[in-house]
Amino acid sequence: MKAPVISSWFGRGQVEAPPDIESAALRSDRFRLERESDWKRLEAILERMEKGGLRRIADDDLIALPTLYRTAASSLSVARETSLDAATLAYLEALVQRAWFQVYGPRQGFVRWLRGFLLGGWSRAVRALWLDICIALFVMVAGTIVGWLLVAQDEAWFYRLFPGSMGDPRQPGATREQLLESLGHDEGAAGLAGFAAQLFSNNSGVCILAFALGFAFGIPSLMLLVHNMALLGVLLWLFNGQGLVVELAAWLSVHGTTELFGILLSGAAGLHIGRAMAFPDKLPVLEAAAAAGRRSAAVMVGVVIMMVVAALLEAFPRQLVEDTGSRFLIGGTMLVFWLAYFILYRPAPRAGDAALPEAA
């Protein structure tokens, strides 16, 4: 075979390439020819993805994408080690960078992620925790009953459980008028925005604590649920003494159907992590806890939204609406909305939606 010719750096003529340059050129050509079809296929897939996302990609190409990426990355590594020609090296570097972004890089912006989260992602994450939600609901109901029974047997429990402040009319021995007055708001709409911010901070703190305590096998999360619901039982006992249970329930329902639902989900999320650690099934403990943590974290993102809604309901409609029927209407509407969203609303996952690990 005749050696390739190269232009002379010092004249207008041409000279034959030295044997080592000839060998390198042949090696580079052979390397390219053996792998070029995979590179071209990967490049074509990347061009379609960059123009129109996953909708333009055939199933076979989508399945082959990770393998083609690894092949290109391996080719780049070989090209660097064997010092192939600069053009091949530059081409592979650009191709691998584009492929990495499509395989591992972020696929959607915040707005698109939020839309996918609200339009199906959140409800799927909640349904994955159905067993933990049932356990947490049972514990919350039991906590309410325990609070009622404790204070009914000994009024001293009221002061141990209820964090009342000086001048708070909600005390044993309060008159019917005093308790009714505590269900209103004298300032009207003034200052309610600051009140909403304070309520959001308090409610979110309870939910985050219930979630964070789940690492200790979920037991502290359940204890926190019992304590918080015991407070509700104490209030129900107090208002029942004056025949005001219906009025209290209406007052609480405005925000409570959202707030208590959020606390329920927080406790269930914490319990889910603890249950995965205690009963990891066939997975190692750390892997089981990590998978449960991803499911629970998705639920907690939605709980923050619920706490914002609950704070607004507690600060505005609950304080400004005084009619018992209207309060029940608001609370009942919110309860139906959350139940319908979490149980009945089941859109099919769309391409690009983040997949959650299956519940244990």
pLDDT at residue number 326: 92
- Percent of the chain beyond pLDDT 90? 29
Residues in the chain, pLDDT under 70? 1-28, 52-56, 83-84, 104-110, 164-167, 185-202, 349-360
Q: Indicate the helix (H) or strand (E) that contains 7.
A: strand 5-7
pLDDT at residue number 196: 55
pLDDT at residue number 76: 83
- The secondary structure of residue 171, as a DSSP letter, is S
Contact of 315 with 202, CB cutoff 8 Å: no
The predicted-structure confidence for 16-30, as pLDDT tens digits, reads as follows 545 555 555 556 677
pLDDT at residue number 15: 45
pLDDT at residue number 360: 46
Cα distance between residue 251 and residue 325, in whole Å? 10
Cα distance between residue 74 and residue 31, in whole Å? 12
Q: List 7's β-bridge partners, or say none.
A: 14
Cα distance between residue 310 and residue 260, in whole Å? 9
The pTM of the full predicted model, rounded to 2 decimals, is 0.67
pLDDT at residue number 278: 86
pLDDT at residue number 108: 59
Q: Nearest to residue 127, comparing CAs of 352, 330, 349?
A: 349
pLDDT at residue number 17: 45
Q: Indicate the helix (H) or strand (E) that contains 294.
A: helix 285-315
CA distances from 326 to 171, 311, 318 (A): 27, 18, 10
Reported as half-sphere exposure (CB side, CA atoms, 13 A), residue 148 has a value of 14
Contact of 31 with 84, CB cutoff 8 Å: yes
